[in-house]
Chains A and B, each alone.
Chain A
Amino acid sequence: KQEVTQIPAALSVPEGENLVLNCSFTDSAIYNLQWFRQDPGKGLTSLLLIQSSQREQTSGRLNASLDKSSGRSTLYIAASQPGDSATYLCAVRAGTYKYIFGTGTRLKVLA
């Protein structure tokens, strides 16, 4: 059974720091992995999608990597800003319709 874990559960950093969020999954047979951002009381915003054949994706200050063999993905945020404060979730597409979500990392960037 696929399980997705995110560490740390919460993170507080000063503005300007580079940071790494981690996502682990137990079954390497995935279609893709997606990173989301969720602000309080809102829906999830897609940040980056990595297909199973890819190793990384980049968008602005964000870079996500995927290592299927070790069951790990990392989200790298460069030069963090207070506006980056949110909960970050990863999700793996484990089947044609099935998505498994991690429990998220709550990030607070201090001004």
Chain B
Amino acid sequence: EADIYQTPRYLVIGTGKKITLECSQTMGHDKMYWYQQDPGMELHLIHYSYGVNSTEKGDLSSESTVSRIRTEHFPLTLESARPSHTSQYLCASTGENPVRNAGELFFGEGSRLTVL
């Protein structure tokens, strides 16, 4: 069972609001990821992190920002939400131990964001 948690699961907010999507994992994984996925569509990587104080932008340009101050925590922030940000955001993590499971990706349940 994956120990990776996302909150909130659902969020409906108005345009211009600042939002933070939380992601935490208790597996001690060094690598964490944020993906964006529209219904029935493919996943797009928007941010990833190798470890504490290490963050990189992904393949899909995003106005969101991330931070990694603690190993277990990888929050995503939108300073000013717009309707175009409406989507599902999925957090994932992976590590290299145990070796037989090295690189296995675990996902949270997702945060569905609707911006009115």
Contact = CB atoms under 8 A, between A and B. Distances in A.
A binds B: yes
B2 interface: yes
Interface residues of B, number: 25
A93 B103 contact: yes
**Most chain B beta-carbon contacts within 10 A, residue among A91, A99, A103:** A99
Nearest to B43: A101
Contacts, number: 51
Contact of B103 (A32, A40, A41, A42): A32
Nearest to A43: B107
A34 B94 CA distance: 12
B106 A46 contact: yes
A-side interface mostly? strand
A43 B90 CA distance: 7
B3 interface: no
Interface of B: 2, 6, 31, 33, 39, 42-43, 45, 48, 50, 88, 90, 92, 100-110, 112
